[in-house]
A and B are shown apart, each in its own frame.
Chain A
C-alpha cells in the first residue's frame, strides 16, 4: 500500500461560537498511512479543537480540511466512521455490557439500518480484540475491567470500525506506566503492521518523542513546531511553549524532556 494522504489540514483557523479569540490559527497537518503523529501542547493550546476540526465537527473559519481528498464537512457521519476510528477522551457508558458487545458497537458504520450483525462483523470484532491483546477479555463485563484493560477495549472498538486513521485523545491520561507503555506499543505496532495512520493527542511528551514519527507542538492555537521529535523538542522551544525550565536529554535517539526545579530561595 502506498503512503496515501489520509488527513490534510492546510492553514486551518477555527473559533468556537461566542469565543473572544481563535482556538486554532493557521495550523497545517498532513498524515499518511503508516505514520504515527503525536499532538502535544499545554492545556488549552487547541489540541482537542484540532481533533474536532479534523473530523468535521467544527467548521474551520479559514483553511481547508480534507480526509482522503474530500472536505471533512462533506463526509456523512457513517461514511466517515468507516474511515476514522476515534478513542475519545471521555466515555460514560450508561448501560452495563460485555466487552464483546461494546466492541461490536464499532461495527455500526458498516451495518444497515435493519440488518442484524453478520459473521464478518463478529470476525472483525474478534480480529480487533486480538490486535489489541484483549481477546481474553471478550466475555468480561466492562465494569470489571481495569483502566488499562478498558482503554484497550475502546481501542479495539475503534479498530473494529476497520478505519484507515486512528485518532486517540489522551488515551493514557489515567494509566500507570505499564499500561501506558503497552498502549503506546500497541498503537505503534498497529501503525507498523497494518499500515494504519494514527494521531495521538497526549500529555506524555517523552513517550510521544520515542514512539511517534512526527510531533506537532501547539501553542495557544498556533503550530509552534512540527516535524520529527528531535527537531521539535529543543530546549528553547519547549521552555517557551510550556513556560517552564527544562533540560533535554537524548535517550535511545529520542529527545527526552526533564523539567527542572525552580531555584529555591
Chain B
C-alpha cells in the first residue's frame, strides 16, 4: 500500500514537471527570436502561420490559389489540387485530392504537404484547425475582389519563397486597378446573370462588377451591395441592360437556354439576343490576369455583343 502511494506520488510530480516544461517551452517559443529561415505570415482569417522554411510541398484547395501559385512560379511546389483547379494547363498534371468544398483531410495528409492553402470560409476555418492538429500548417486566403489579389500574392509568395514574383504580380494588379481609359461614346450597360430561375444577378460586391467598371461598362445592378442577389424578372426588364453577360465553361456559341422562354422576351437584351459569353477560366474568379480580363471585356463591349440565333 505504501509503495503504491509512493509511486503515484512520484508519477504525479513527474507529470507536473513535464507539463511545466512543456508550458515553458511554448512560452519560450513565443518570446524567443525565430531561427533564420522561418517564414511567418498572418492570413486572412487573422491566424498566424509559421513555417520552418519556404513551403516545398503545397496543397492548394482553391482554384484561385492554384492559379496564383503557378503565376508566382511556385507551380513545381504544388503537390495537390482540387478537381476544379484547371488553370493554368500545367496545373492539370498535379494530383487531385478532393473537390475543395469540404476538404478531405486524409487525402490531403497523404500527400505529406507542409502547407495547405484554403479559401477563407467558416467551414475551412474548422478544416484549418484540423490540419493544425495533425501538424500541417494551413493558411486561409480571401480572394473575392480584385484588390485581394495583391495581398494574396504577397502572402503566398512569402510562404513559398517567391517574394519577388509576388511583388511584381502585386504591382501589375495595382496598375490594372488604376488604369482608366476613357471609352468613346456612352458606357455600355450590362447585367451579369448567374442563374435564370430565380434570376440571380451580380452586384457591387463582386469582382465582376469591378471588371465591368474598369472596362468602361456599367453594371445596372451596381446599387446592390451584395456579391449576388435574386431579383425579379421585371426589375431586369425595367433596368434595361444593353447586354446580358454570363460565364461560360466551354467555348460554345449558343445562347443560354432561357433565351427562348416567353417571359424573358420582356427584357430587351434577350429579345434582341445581346448576350456576352465570358470564358470562365479568365472571368470565373479574380486572378492575376485581371488586366487581361479587363482588356478582353473592353474589347467585347466595344465590338458590340454578338447576335445569337
Q: Do chains A and B touch in the complex (CB under 8 A)?
A: no
Which residues of A line the B interface, CB within 8 A?
Answer: none
Which residues of B line the A interface, CB within 8 A?
Answer: none
